[in-house]
Amino acid sequence: MVANYRHDSPTLLDLPPRTARAAIETWIRERELPAYRADQIVRRLWINPVHEWSAARELPADLRTRLAAAFPLPRLGLEQREISTDGTVKVLWRLHDGEAIESVLIPSGARRTLCISSQAGCALGCVFCATGRMGFRRNLTPFEIAGQVRQLILDDPGARPTNVVFMGMGEPLLNWPAVDAALSILNDEEGLRLGARHITVSTVGILPGMRELRARPEQFRLAISLHSPDPERRVGLMPIEKKYRLRDVLDEAQRFGRRVTFEYVLIQGRNDADSDADRLGTLARRLGAHVNLLPLHPGGAPGLAPSSGNRIRQFADRLRRSGVEAVVRRSRGLDIAAACGQLYVEMEAKRRRSPKD
């Protein structure tokens, strides 16, 4: 199913909640409607969302019709939904122009973390990421970013996430204007009401975007995709190292003034030696950073192998003995296409193989 909107069509859902409220209040005043209608309308954008205005039964039928004409509510098209035996849910959303993006919901006890996309595709070409094989398609709008949460809630209210991480398709800080607005939507009391400390922006180290994020007053979390403590070997995994040097990225992270997380995918023979652990420990202690160790998802990177379970444990223990807080994140969704970009790549391959009508 393709989404029901145009990329260039105006929508209240692309606006930070306070800007959307101002637009609604102006519209209400111009039509000499009761001022309290603005509160009812605002609630239906994010707090208690509806697929379409006709479902907002607290509003008069005539007003619902006028709202549908003035402020149509877009939605993302659900193309594919896969559920792992471990509870992980992977969703492929189809956008209005045929592009597709992914979200992954990871339940863990009372915690439900939703991993969202900020771009269709990615230009960075990290060798361990399936999204990089897509290439860059386009930036997402604020609605297309925050709308991944909205659509999930509409489809299944019980799946409302407790945490959101910008770790899906794309580099969020290369789409800062839209991500900036989406952060407001996620956090605002008239938006999705997620606490800032429950929202994490992950970056490979885009310095201008890191500065923009630092300038925001909210306590949003920052995660840095590190993956090697050695710049010369990091560039072989992450070509962005040529533009934004690791030393400069870490200097900017130190200015962030909040707890930083290092994301580190362990790849057999590439970044999992004891010497890598020692150098990573030095960098983490300098920033007081937490380290998330992630086994390479085998479906996301042909030609690369995940480090063995024993090697991962030894690597983590070496970090801990050096005074670094390190957590090994177990691979989730191994029985579904849960690696970032993997579901898209597999679905597109099937489409190409299918006979044309």
Q: What is the pLDDT of residues 42-52, one digit of tens each?
A: 999 999 999 99
Contact assessment for residue 128 and residue 268, using Cβ atoms and an 8 Å cutoff:
no
160 beta partners:
none
* Residue 351: pLDDT band with limits 50, 70, 90: low
Residue 131 has pLDDT above 70, yes or no: yes
How sure is the predictor about 130, in pLDDT bands with cuts at 50, 70 and 90?
Answer: confident
Q: Quick check: helix, strand or coil at residue 209? A: helix
Does the fold of domain 77-353 match that of domain 12-70? no
The percent of residues above 70 in pLDDT, for the chain, comes to 90
Taking a C-beta distance cutoff of 8 angstroms, is the pair 290, 319 a contact? no
- The tens digit of pLDDT for each residue in 299-326 reads 667 789 999 999 999 999 999 999 999 9
Out of 1.25.40, 1.20.1070, 3.30.70, 1.10.150, the CATH code matching 12-70 is: 1.10.150
Nearest to 105, CA basis, from 97, 113, 93: 113
Structure tokens that stand for 352 in this block: 């190409």
Name which of 262, 259, 237 is nearest 249 in CA terms: 262
Are 107 and 159 in contact by the 8 Å Cβ rule? The answer is no
Percent of the chain with pLDDT over 90: 81
Structure tokens at 89: 């849910």
Task: Quote the pLDDT of residue 8.
Answer: 61
- Judged by DSSP in three states, 11 sits in coil
Q: How sure is the predictor about 298, in pLDDT bands with cuts at 50, 70 and 90?
A: confident
Residue with more model confidence, 222 or 348: 222
Q: How far apart are CA 80 and CA 31, in angstroms?
A: 42
Among the listed residues 37, 49, 42, the one whose alpha carbon sits nearest the alpha carbon of residue 15: 42
Sign of CA dihedral 25, 26, 28, 29: positive
Question: pLDDT band at 330, cuts 50/70/90?
Answer: confident
**Residue pLDDT, tens place only, 143-193:** 999 999 999 999 999 899 999 999 999 999 999 999 999 999 999 999 999
Looking at residue 300, its pLDDT comes to 62
- pLDDT of 36 strictly over 80: yes
Contact 71, 42 (CB under 8 A): no
What CATH number matches the domain at 77-353, 3.30.930.10, 3.20.20.210, 3.40.718.10, 3.20.20.70? 3.20.20.70
- Radius of gyration from C-alpha coordinates of the chain: 21
What lies within 8 Å, CB to CB, of 292 at 6+ separation is: 223, 261, 262, 263, 264, 326, 327, 329
Confidence band of 329 (pLDDT split at 50, 70, 90): confident
Cα pseudo-dihedral 219, 221, 224, 225, rounded to 10: -160
Measured CA to CA in angstroms, residue 83 lies from 86, 90, 93, 106 at distances of: 8, 6, 15, 10
Confidence bin at 7 (pLDDT 50/70/90)? low
Q: What is the pLDDT of residues 62-105, one digit of tens each?
A: 999 999 999 999 999 999 999 998 899 999 999 999 999 999 99
Per-domain residue ranges of the chain: 12-70, 77-353
Q: Which residue numbers are catalytic?
A: 102, 340
How much is the average pLDDT of 26-53? 98
Confidence of residue 57 (pLDDT cuts 50, 70, 90): very high
> Which of 218, 226, 283 is CA-nearest to residue 257?
218
Asked if pLDDT for residue 348 goes beyond 80, the answer is no
Strands 221-225 and 290-295, how do they pair?
unpaired
CA–CA dist 161, 141 (Å, integer): 20
Q: Which residue has the tokens 């807080």?
A: 325
Confidence of residue 357 (pLDDT cuts 50, 70, 90): very low
At 253 the pLDDT is 97
Indicate whether this model's pTM tops 0.85.
yes
